[in-house]
A and B are shown apart, each in its own frame.
Chain A
Amino acid sequence: DAGVTQSPTHLIKTRGQQVTLRCSPKSGHDTVSWYQQALGQGPQFIFQYYEEEERQRGNFPDRFSGHQFPNYSSELNVNALLLGDSALYLCASSLARGLSTNEKLFFGSGTQLSVL
């Protein structure tokens, strides 16, 4: 049973460029969340996708956008990259929350993005 997979593992971009990161959720999961983790910090919630729509969003600018496909996989797009966007980007999958569900988030290993 494959867990959450992300690609690429590492990426180097320059300021102003655009980047697309990809995530395949754990088998059976239908919800994908994206987090940004700067060095020495905890992960920060970017947004969550369910049924191919953005369901909730954290405090990130519109330069950060995403998409979820019918097979539940997801992409994170960042436009007009800034130096401060350098971070580990984590994808987490889960089942859509039910009325009494404590679903665990399963994290991928992340994409390390460096903006030069």
Chain B
Amino acid sequence: GQNIDQPTEMTATEGAIVQINCTYQTSGFNGLFWYQQHAGEAPTFLSYNVLDGLEEKGRFSSFLSRSKGYSYLLLKELQMKDSASYLCAGDYGGATNKLIFGTGTLLAVQP
């Protein structure tokens, strides 16, 4: 299988930093997506990592280690609006864009 594992829930404080981890099966793996999903809304794209290393994009950064089957999403300077579900998804599609999603990590940002 292509199990994508991530924590179910996390809580953090406004202004702080939080790291959401994700592990995945490496067989057939092409790349790793992170999406943000607010309740009742569509998932919105945050990042896509193909190569090892850290990619920074404003307050959000994403890291990938292909050999370890590990990724994390780092959120800095947390804001209340960052309260959402964060979905880790592995790209196993080969010639297609078939994504295998984890269950999502529900992040609650507290004042």
Contacts and interface: CB of A to CB of B under 8 A. Distances in A.
Contacts of A108: 42
Given A102-B48, A107-B42, A109-B42, A45 B100 contact: yes
B104 A41 contact: yes
Interface string B87-108: 1010001011111111110000
Given A41-B104, A102-B31, A104-B48, A109 B41 contact: yes
How many residues of B sit at the interface, in one of the four size bands? 20 to 34
B93 A97 contact: yes
Interface of A: 4, 31, 33, 35, 40-45, 48, 50, 55-56, 58, 90, 92, 94, 97, 102-110
Interface of B: 4, 31, 33, 35, 41-45, 48, 50, 87, 89, 93, 95-104
